[in-house]
A and B are shown apart, each in its own frame.
Chain A
């Protein structure tokens, strides 16, 4: 099939270039030009305005407008202020930030420095997933080079009053430390327990000081926004829906990836607008020979699943919400017809049960309980009542905890048991589905019997 949708090269412009992670190569290709421009021509407030104009939204999963987030940092505050770059890319199926950190660490650093300039931050902590040794090595190398070149340290590029330090902090493998406040606790040397909010990190974050927390990809966009203007960024992608104040649009480009049983898994950069189907069939090569796509989770693991019939939706923040899913990290996980959805659920539940920090009752007890129920169904000991029990657990887990890990556990599971109910019934002895009758009819019967 011909590729219908063009790739764009903003974030990924240096991918594939030899030694792209070294300062010399990066500078040849324009690195730190935006920083020089911002320091010479723009005030911090102008920079924040430019980012607001760009309508760039956080690429870590929640999609919060970045410029607005920057604006929350209190100006009149004597405490030091920090940037914590969330590079703890531990969402299953997600590997976009890794490309940026390994192949273009100077772009990431430049984005961080621009953020530090805009928000008056004195220290940058890059919290990198511990399982990314090459990212850590390349970032540390880049920091060293940037410090020698005067981009990091006292008086960056000779700018009076702009002093920035930068440190890499490797994580130790906990999923929960990718949650922003869990990450702050971990950074401070404590247990990665998400904090109860308020106070929000912008007011009281790392070490009790105002802190900006952004995703790697989000900040990597900022140099381009500075170079070309926020409007040029906002003009790309999907525009906001004037009738829906919640639909803020999906401006600019996004690194999108596909993993799972497809012919050509990988990461590409697109202007927002490509559909899930185009992404999977045109770029990821579609399912393996003789297989069919059964379900897709469009962003990481933490979003509701889409069936093969629902893939004609654009990869965008608001578009995916409209069909009951979400963009998440923008990296799709494909499941084909060889995938047993009951086993998939057990696997998903196991992941979240294992990664639940244990702080809040519903998540600590509930995630493991769900895993046990799925294991029971898989083992042929489930009953249709188990599906009702699961639905009740979803209600009691979702939105009832300090952080969003519990929601992330519920969303994929709930969507799978609703959309693939017949597969669950087929494993339950005594149900018509298990006796080999038409699954759809069996499903209707069970639902009706409720």
Chain B
């Protein structure tokens, strides 16, 4: 027996592989582009789309790289030699592209997937650019509701079965299957009307084409007009990595972002749709100060800060922050509270959870609050400052009974009568900062420029201003400086922060 082969030649370069790895895995690990539709690293291998074909030296037929093992057959002692860009591979792929488009409606101008469609991308790269068919296309069902949130278009569908396999293998709820045969094959719902799983909308993301679209996002915007930013889902405390998408101030979409240690490729529907409050028409868009007539009126930022300082000096007290506030905001809230000789607390709702991505803890940074030493407010109590983002955390009873004079509020509906000064609270998609998930993993979120009213001073800056109102010697540190001081705390000793190496793996 020859020694076990442990390398593979791809386009002439030798790469090592781990036992059991497939050719497409090694290609992707090394930045070699191999197109794929039915392959998903989180699901079983179906091998049905055939687009990932590569040339294997010695084989006249191109082979699918998603199923092909890097290890040669036991009787071969030489490493396999693979070509991903050769004539054989390209000819194979363009043949598949042509087949995929024979019955495809080519309705990209009205398709939500346009711009992030693998069919579009690969058609551009591997397609012939010219139609060889003049025959009528197969007609299949369109606009089929898959539950309340998803719409299916069988004509756009390339039957890669990723959605079917997701429901079989990841959620194990089996709501989807295939019906029909041949080119009349379609995806069907096997359950009555609605998905059992609260993770169903992930099939929209993994659908490589526009066959599955979100009812929520349908026809809202072309992707190339939108702004995207990496962020964290704040609807629960798992710290699911997401990408926020918005356009001209409107929050339009949340999609999960791959993190092997937290959420892999997935997120819950609740988190995905949990952005609606950000688009409220009654958002607080400018600082407000209560005038002599007793009405709140727009004010300049520095006037509002002065007024807040005055109000707080007159009636200092505790600072109660939203459990979704960032680590930096909570740390500064703590400093502001101690400058006033009071305490900082956080409020976070709890609810139903599962053993996966939906936690019973709903405060996205509740763990961070605890690590900073903030107490958890369980019921209404007095507070001088409130920071409110989501209604459910600093709830109505807490807001009304706190008697706070300075309020950071996202929505006018959240502002209690006691407020003398109101600062606009940007939503999490509009702020940058750190969150500690329920497993103690520190993760960063970035601001999406396309979401929210814009021109809102970050709460971190406002908090520093307010501390300055009490402490003349206070030196501005900025967000970076605040993070420095958090890292110096005992509770954060040895805790990796984003940017440190191997953060992503923590909490796996």
Interface positions of A (Cβ within 8 A of B): 174, 191, 193, 196, 353-362, 364-369, 372-373, 376, 389, 392, 395-396, 399-402
Contacts and interface: CB of A to CB of B under 8 A. Distances in A.
Contacts of B182: 353-358, 364, 367-368
A191 B98 CA distance: 27
B61 A399 contact: yes
B53 interface: yes
Contact of A353 (B61, B100, B177, B183): B183
B165 interface: no
Interface in B91-117: 92, 95-96, 98-100, 102-103
B159 A401 contact: no
Interchain residue pairs A-B with the least CB separation, the first 7: A358-B185, A396-B95, A365-B99, A372-B135, A356-B182, A196-B47, A368-B183
Given A356-B182, A360-B48, A402-B48, A396 B96 contact: yes
B138 A368 contact: yes
B48 A396 contact: no
Given A191-B177, A355-B182, 20 more contacts: A196-B46, A356-B182, A357-B182, A357-B185, A358-B178, A358-B180, A358-B184, A358-B185, A360-B49, A361-B99, A364-B182, A369-B99, A369-B135, A372-B136, A396-B99, A399-B61, A400-B92, A400-B95, A401-B50, A402-B47
A373 B180 contact: no
A367 B103 CA distance: 12
Nearest to A352: B182
Interface in B146-192: 158-159, 177-178, 180-185
Nearest to B160: A361
Nearest to B104: A365
B67 A196 contact: yes
B495 interface: no
Contact of B50 (A191, A360, A368, A372): A360
A419 to B, nearest CB: 23
A97 B381 CA distance: 85
B132 interface: yes
A214 B158 CA distance: 34
A355 B181 contact: yes
Contacts, number: 95
B293 interface: no
Contacts of A373: 135
Contacts of A376: 135
Interface in B182-230: 182-185
A248 to B, nearest CB: 19
Contacts of A362: 50, 95-96, 99
Nearest to B134: A376
Contacts of B95: 362, 392, 395-396, 400
B99 A358 contact: no
Nearest to B49: A361
Interface in B18-48: 45-48
A400 to B, nearest CB: 6
Contacts of B138: 368
15 contacts: A174-B181, A355-B182, A356-B182, A357-B182, A359-B48, A360-B49, A361-B48, A361-B96, A367-B183, A368-B138, A369-B99, A369-B135, A373-B135, A400-B61, A401-B50
Contact of A361 (B50, B61, B132): B50
B133 interface: yes
A357 B182 CA distance: 5
Nearest to B47: A196
A366 B132 CA distance: 12
A392 B61 CA distance: 14
Contacts of B49: 360-361
Contacts of B184: 358
Contacts of B53: 400
B3 to A, nearest CB: 23
Interface in B110-147: 132-133, 135-136, 138
B103 A358 contact: no
Contacts of A392: 95, 132
Most buried by B among A196, A364, A373, A392: A364
Contacts of A360: 47-50
A358 B181 contact: yes
A392 B45 CA distance: 28
Contact of A356 (B102, B158, B181): B181
Contacts of A358: 159, 178, 180-185
B141 to A, nearest CB: 15
A373 B136 CA distance: 11
Nearest to A389: B132
Contact of A365 (B61, B178, B183): B183
Nearest to A372: B135
B55 to A, nearest CB: 13
Nearest to B66: A196
Contacts of B185: 357-358, 364
A394 to B, nearest CB: 10
Contacts of B67: 196
B46 A365 contact: no
Contacts of A368: 103, 138, 182-183
